[in-house]
């Protein structure tokens, strides 16, 4: 679920008016797919059940600064708030592939986007726009999920995720829930829990995007590492989580002369509740640091699921 990909018009407008000291990385200065999805238990998928697992992923991201290639506030006056609601379905089976349990799934996201933008030059507002909408975002399909459990303390899984351009999109609009291009993402997750209950979980993902046919823009390859470290106390797990995001290659677009690449680091408290027979719940609150060529702000997320 993408939660901050609505800055395309902002980036282009600010650059054309001289309000930005550098260009933005990725089309719109935002990630192709959302980060902040995985924390505790990333290495374990739900067990095989007759009807599968349904889940709700909610994430709210807000920001009021845009950072340039040096990490400085570029001076754009922006108020950005994006609420994403992702309805997920996951089906794990008893079928074995490469010694792993096979599964598949999908996520159908919807965005509520509120953006207010003012670009100033010499203390005078030279451009202003806003957008307020609640629309469907791009569908994510996982045709391949493989779950290994080499020991009772270790879980490892691999996902192949395909993001389809099904979301609402208008190249002339300030905010867009849809990206208008395909993306293919291999994801590797693991979790290790010691006998004393100390957990370390990580997720590694790369995004490979196709070209947007309406703008002839193609994002460079994007990488993210999500993580959480915490202690199990009864049904609770509490600790520190976060994510590191970085663009590995330059974008390709008409008239693009500089390959500015985005990056950010986020840290904050993470909490998980898991009691057999009850729906598990995950919560985290992250603050972003050291951002380049993108908005910088905060993200709060809540996830819940239930197996049938």
Residue the block writes with tokens 């603050």: 287
| pLDDT at residue 67, as a whole number | 87
- Quote the CA–CA distance of 173 and 31 in Å, as a whole number: 18
- In this predicted model, which residue has the larger pLDDT, 194 or 79? 194
What is the pLDDT averaged over residues 128-154?
94
**CATH number assigned to the domain comprising residue 266:** 2.40.160.40
Task: Tell me whether residue 2 is in a domain.
Answer: no
Is position 26 within any domain? yes
Q: For the chain, what is the domain count?
A: 1
Q: What is the CA radius of gyration of the chain?
A: 20
pTM of the model: 0.87
Q: Does 3 map to a domain?
A: no
Domain annotation covers residue 38: yes
Give the CA distances from residue 284 to residues 1, 34, 190, 233, 236, in Å, rounded to whole numbers and listed in that order.
16, 15, 19, 17, 13
251-287 tens-digit pLDDT: 998 887 666 789 999 999 999 999 998 999 999 999 9
Is 112 inside any structural domain? yes
205 CB-near residues (< 8 Å, 6+ apart)? 33, 185, 186, 187, 188, 223, 224, 225, 226
Q: Is residue 1 part of a domain?
A: no
Domain of residue 138 covers 8-307
């Amino acid at each position: 679920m993408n939660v901050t990909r609505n800055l395309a018009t902002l980036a282009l407008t600010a650059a054309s008016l001289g309000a930005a000291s550098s260009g933005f990385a990725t089309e719109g200065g935002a990630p192709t797919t959302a980060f902040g999805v995985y924390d505790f238990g990333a290495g374990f998928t739900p067990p095989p059940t007759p009807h599968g697992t349904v889940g709700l992923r909610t994430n709210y991201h807000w920001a009021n600064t845009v950072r340039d290639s040096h990490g400085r506030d570029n001076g754009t006056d922006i108020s950005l708030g994006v609420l994403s609601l992702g309805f997920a379905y996951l089906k794990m089976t008893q079928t074995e592939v490469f010694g792993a349990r096979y599964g598949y799934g999908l996520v159908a996201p919807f965005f509520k986007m509120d953006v207010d933008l003012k670009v100033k030059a010499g203390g005078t507002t030279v451009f202003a726009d806003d957008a307020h909408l609640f629309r469907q975002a791009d569908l994510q399909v996982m045709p391949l999920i493989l779950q290994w459990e080499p020991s009772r303390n270790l879980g490892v899984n691999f996902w192949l995720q395909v993001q389809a351009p099904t979301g609402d999109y208008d190249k002339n609009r300030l905010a867009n829930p849809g990206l208008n291009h395909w993306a293919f993402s291999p994801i590797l997750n693991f979790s290790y829990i010691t006998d004393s209950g100390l957990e370390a979980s990580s997720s590694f993902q790369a995004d490979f995007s196709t070209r947007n046919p309406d703008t002839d823009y193609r994002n460079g390859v994007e990488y993210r590492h999500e993580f959480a470290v915490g202690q199990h106390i009864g049904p609770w797990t509490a600790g520190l989580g976060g994510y590191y995001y970085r663009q590995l290659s330059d974008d390709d677009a008409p008239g693009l002369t500089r390959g500015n690449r985005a990056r950010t680091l986020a840290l904050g408290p993470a909490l998980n509740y898991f009691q057999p027979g009850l729906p598990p719940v995950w919560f985290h609150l992250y603050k972003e640091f050291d951002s380049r060529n993108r908005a910088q702000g905060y993200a709060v997320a809540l996830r819940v699921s239930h197996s049938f």
